[in-house]
A = this chain, B = another copy of it.
């Protein structure tokens, strides 16, 4: 089921801002912040970008990672996380095994947020030459 269909099923109206944000996220292969998303979609307001991303987050349709207080988003089409270069922001995905976190009997409704950061090969080379 496409994400826009999911949104409709959840009772949300299918508006131009939402369409544009979804379109962009579907193209984007990496992580993107609200701020950069807004730069890319100049036609819609900053607040609408934030509101749409919040909605997608609430419905678990995007993954969120926080780097330096800024939320970074990508579509949650499959369970995964990212490792992000602290120098240049380059990101790679890796799969996520949700079962890993089943062991916490004292809590229910467990969510998890895992972010790895490092220095990518390219930046490492630049630094050391």
Contact B119 A101 (CB under 8 A): no
Contact A92 B106 (CB under 8 A): yes
Cross-interface CB contact of A116 among B69, B104, B124, cutoff 8 Å: B104
Residues in B whose Cβ lies below 8 Å from that of A104: 83, 92, 94, 116, 118
Task: State the number of copies, please.
Answer: 2
Number of interface residues of A (CB under 8 A): 26
CA distance A8 to B108 in the complex (A): 43
Q: Digit string of A42-69 for contact with B (CB within 8 Å is 1, else 0)?
A: 0000000000000000000000001001
A41 at the interface (CB under 8 A from B): no
Q: A residues within 8 Å of B by Cβ?
A: 66, 69, 83, 85-86, 92, 94, 101, 104, 106-121, 124
A-B pairs with the 7 shortest C-beta distances? Answer: A107-B118, A110-B118, A113-B115, A114-B114, A112-B116, A109-B119, A66-B66
